[in-house]
Amino acid sequence: MDLKKFNLMFSKIELPRLELPKFKLPKIKMPELKIGDIKARIPIIQGGMGVGISLSKLSSAVAREGGIGVIAANAIGMIEPDYFKNGVEANMRALRNEIRKARSLSDGIIGVNIMIALNDFQNMLQVAIEEKVDIVFLGAGLPLRGIPIKEIKRANVKVVPIVSSARAVRLIFKYWQKNFATIPDGVVVEGPKAGGHLGFKEEDIENPDFRLENLIPEVVKEVKEFEKQFAREIPVIAAGGIFDGKDIYEFLKLGASGVQPGSRFVATEECDADINFKMSFVDAKKEDIVIIHSPVGMPGRAIFNSFLKGVNSGEKKEFKCPWRCLESCKADKVNYCISIALNNARKGILKQGFAFAGTNVYRIDKIVPVKELINEITEDYLAVVENGISRIKHEYEKVKKKLMGLKEEYEKTIERGSNLFKEEYNKAFTKGSAKLKGELEKSFNMLAANSPAFPDKDIRTGKAGMKRDSNNDFLQLISNSPLFRAGKLNKINWLKSEYIENFKLIDKIKAQFMAKTFGLI
């Protein structure tokens, strides 16, 4: 009898192979920064520094190097000769001119920083929109009412508020969602280590809860909800105390998409301030960095000098207010005009003014070109990343050495144990299959011996009989056979099912063997 029709196929044992993992070094570079459809080659935004510190020369230099250059609009008109006569007009004219100069010097990304608290905020925002700057950074207040969203969208200007808490982010984004059916394109989170006016109460400046390292994850979490609702990414930018590539690495790890350093860009050849102003940053010591009480009613961080010493002793600096640029300023009750003091410092006249600066300004030791500064920061960042990768690679090599030992032990175990297992397997398989085949042969032989013949003609009628090769007639004959009724054919089916079940059992034994051999269970 041909047993092939019963599909009795016997399996082979395949032993697993042990492959060592491969370690491939990733390509290392600084990540890009995307704000809407704008893409900066490096995740660095140069902080906007008011009263003429960051104008077209500095912003265009940063933009050329792949970052985002920022012109500060605050009191920018002080570089114009008629500021004290026509403050509003001078501001608008100066901002427009600086934007156009920056565009002529670079085809990179140019932004404008505008203080919401300024009385001419709307005028300055309108100039930025008309000139179609890439981004407006809106600080010193919450950008809620009076934001011309339709004009901003038509000009394809991105809006990035500057905040100091996750609560402010939620307030702004909820308001925009409800009233404008949209949300800002990103957010800058400025921590208490920043220079200039600070968005914190004086008692909170040194509070660990308000450290930038704590604020960034909170804001990142806050914007996630809006990212889902509007199906777009909202980059979070870390600002305040950013000094080198290590800082960038750490804040990117916390979820930030980029950083906004300010003070480091003052000590560059392209900074628009006087050399004496720049040198005050280079010469500053750690103990020179102080918190002052600004005439506008806010705390600020500055480099202590003789001017501030006089202010602290009660000296009143005579001045004439050119125009009420800030609503909160009480010009008739303060000892000096902060805009005039900052402008004097910009011009290098530090005896009649002072410089705002971040907490790490004392670490600056020289004036360099913007290109060199960005290269230095980039190299710092890459060094930190490479150091991390080197540590991972070192750990990998240690694990790989251990794996090599395990592989050797594995192969020895295969050599010692698998042959024995195969031998046992084959013995059981040969014995079982031979028995099964014998039973099948015996059953079919008995069936053939006891089945009636297949005559060509029916003996009783003389008509043509059944053909031997007729499957239907054969099955009918088997069904009528006494053997069938005795259950012999059922036994054949049972034997086949028993083989299948034993085949499954052998696979199970094989799996258990492998698990016990290699410690998987």
Q: 329-385, pLDDT tens digit by residue?
A: 776 778 888 999 999 999 999 999 999 999 999 999 999 999 999 999 999 998 888
Are both 369 and 321 inside the same structural domain? Answer: yes
**Nearest-angstrom CA–CA distance, 66 and 59:** 11
pLDDT at res. 296: 84
Phi-psi region of 241 (alpha: psi -120 to 50; beta: other; left: phi over 0): left
Residue linked to tokens 């059916």: 181
Question: 97 and 147 share a domain?
Answer: yes
| The last residue of a domain, from among 328, 353, 385 | 385
Residue 298 has a pLDDT of 87
Helix residue ranges per DSSP H, 146-240: 149-154, 166-180, 212-230
Encode pLDDT of 298-325 as tens digits.
899 999 999 999 999 888 887 777 777 7
- Specify whether 190 is located in the same domain as 237: yes
Provide the pLDDT for residue 88.
92
Q: Is 24 contained in some domain?
A: no
Token digits of residue 347: 């011009």
Q: Which of 325, 354, 385 is the last residue of a domain?
A: 385
Same domain, 339 and 446: no
Is 30 inside any structural domain?
no
Residue 56: inside a domain:
yes
| Domain match, 9 and 106 both | no
Q: What letter would DSSP give residue 317?
A: -
In three-state form (DSSP H/G/I as H, E/B as E, the rest C), the secondary structure along 156-169 is: CCEEEEEECCHHHH
Q: Report H helices in 414-469.
A: 419-450
Give the residue numbers spanning the domain of 206.
38-385
Cβ contact 12:446 at 8 Å: no
Q: Looking at residue 404, what is its pLDDT? A: 63
Instruction: Based on the fold, state whether residues 15 and 50 are members of the same structural domain.
Output: no
Contact 179, 157 (CB under 8 A): no
> How many angstroms separate the CA atoms of 201 and 144, rounded?
22
State the pLDDT at residue 295: 86
Show which of 385, 418, 434 is a domain's final residue.
Answer: 385
Whether residues 13 and 47 share a domain: the answer is no
Q: What integer pLDDT is reported at residue 314 of this predicted model?
A: 86
Residue 465 has a pLDDT of 46
Residue ranges of the chain with pLDDT lower than 50?
Answer: 1-15, 18, 452-475, 477-479, 483-486, 488-489, 491-492, 513-514, 516-521
Residues 188 and 70 in one domain: yes
Q: Are 166 and 225 in contact, with CB atoms under 8 Å apart?
A: no
User: What CATH number corresponds to the domain at position 82?
Assistant: 3.20.20.70
**Angstrom distance (rounded) from CA 84 to CA 90:** 9
Asked if residue 410 belongs to a domain, the reply is yes
Give dist(CA 435, CA 240) in Å, integer: 84
- Look at residue 387 in the predicted model and tell me its pLDDT: 75
Q: In this structure, are 359 and 329 located in the same domain?
A: yes
Based on the domain organization, do 55 and 81 belong to the same domain?
yes
Domain co-membership, 430 together with 336: no
**pLDDT score for 324:** 72
The single-letter code of the amino acid at 73 is A
Query: For residue 440, what pLDDT is reported?
Result: 57
Is the residue at 31 inside a domain?
no
d(CA 197, CA 297): 10
Same domain, 378 and 429: no
**Phi/psi at 455 (nearest 5 deg)?**
-70, 150
Residue 68 main-chain phi, psi, to 5 deg? -110, 115
Residue 303 sits at φ, ψ, to 5 deg, of: -95, 120
Distance (Å, whole) CA 378 – CA 512:
54
Residue 115 lies in a domain: yes
Are 92 and 124 in contact by the 8 Å Cβ rule? The answer is yes
Residue 28 lies in a domain: no
Domain assignment present for residue 27? The answer is no
Per the structure, how many domains does the chain have?
2
